[in-house]
Amino acid sequence: MSNRLTEILAAKRDHVARRNAETSLAALEASAAGQTAPRGFRAALDRAAVDGFGLIAEIKKASPSKGLIRADFDPPAHARAYQAGGAACLSVLTDVPFFQGADDYLVQARAACSLPCLRKDFMIDPWQVLEARALGADAILIIVAGLEDGAMAEIEAAAIGLGMDVLVEVHDRAELDRALRLRSRLIGVNNRDLRDFSVDFARTYELVGSAPEGCTFVAESGLGGPADLAAMAEHGVRCFLVGESLMRQADVEAATRALLAA
């Protein structure tokens, strides 16, 4: 069980325990209740995919495999550029130790645009879902590889209870089967295996045909440009989550527009 995901989840457990102890639940509930209503994340993706591609554009400063991705990191500017370039949704990394993310990046990005925003983090406890909503998040991520069935269901129930969408991330068929026991029908296949960070588009190609009717299917990670999206589209994939390749561009808006023109 010694892999990168296990390491990340162990650190997350300590982080959540600490934050939970220093934050009053009542204050968190009040700030979640004071947020504007969730923006429909899956609905925005589905709308965009009708006659184009549904893009979840990710605000990502660094990653454990690549280190710093962008020195002039500016979440509000990136959020505006992604929206102007045609993205349907945003994903904002809030994990601190491994992705150099921050809760505040999510708050800033969401305030700077009108797109639905996913809090991209490693959810292990329903408390983090309430925290996500208190930050304004419209959707959360569940990584099937990191959770038991019971924990997944609890985290999902917390999100649904708060009106949020849930992106359920899988790597293989066994994980897809587990994902489909949940209620969410927004499924992401991560081409990058979080256990060893290897990237393989075949993970998406193998699973796209197994997603039942009525699922919104998202290919995630390692997508470099229009040619990759065009190849994915040939396999019937219409929705994508892209971070690094867009974050490395000087002109993020133009790169986003070019990507969606694939």
Q: Is 145 left (phi over 0), alpha (psi -120 to 50) or beta?
A: alpha
Please choose, out of 13-21, 29-37, 44-52, 241-249, the segment that lies near ligand IGP by the rule CB under 6 A: 241-249
- Output phi, psi for 158, to 5 deg: -60, -45
As a residue count, the chain comes to: 262
169 binds ligand IGP (CB under 6 A): yes
Contact status: 83 vs ligand IGP (CB under 6 A): no
The Cα–Cα gap between 51 and 56 comes to: 16
Exposed e or buried b for every residue in 98-136, given b needs 16+ CB within 10 A? bbbbbbebbbbbbebbebbbbbbbbbbbbbbbbbbbbbb
Can residue 175 be called a binding residue for ligand IGP (CB under 6 A)? no
Residues 60-79 that bind ligand IGP (CB under 6 A): 60
Q: Which residue has the tokens 């992401």?
A: 188
Shortest Cβ distance from residue 27 to ligand IGP (Å)? 27
Among 241, 252, 255, 259, binds ligand IGP (CB under 6 A): 241
Contact criterion met (CB below 8 Å) for 211 and 168: no
Q: What's the rounded Cα separation, in Å, for the pair 56 and 23? A: 31
Task: Considering the complex, state which of residue 78 and residue 120 has its C-beta at the smaller distance from ligand IGP.
Answer: 120
What character string, x for contact with ligand IGP (CB under 6 A) and - otherwise, covers 2-41? ----------------------------------------
Q: Where does this chain touch ligand IGP (CB under 6 A) — which range of 20-28, 78-86, 103-111, 217-225?
A: 217-225
Rounded Cα–Cα distance for residues 26 and 43 (Å): 31
Q: Tell me whether residue 64 or residue 213 sits nearer to ligand IGP (CB atom).
A: 64
If binding is defined by CB under 6 A, does position 146 make contact with ligand IGP?
Answer: no
Letters for 185-214 (x = contact with ligand IGP by CB under 6 A, - = none) are -----x------------------------
CA distance 58 to 179: 22
Per CB under 6 A, 243 contacts ligand IGP: yes
Contact between 125 and ligand IGP by CB under 6 A: the answer reads: no
Question: Looking at 242, 252, 255, 260, which residue binds ligand IGP (CB under 6 A)?
Answer: 242
By CB under 6 A, the count of residues binding ligand IGP is: 15
Q: Where do runs of H (alpha helix) occur along the chain?
A: 4-22, 25-33, 41-49, 75-85, 103-111, 126-134, 149-161, 173-179, 202-208, 226-234, 244-247, 252-260
Residues making contact with ligand IGP (CB under 6 A): 58, 60, 120, 143, 169, 190, 220-223, 241-245
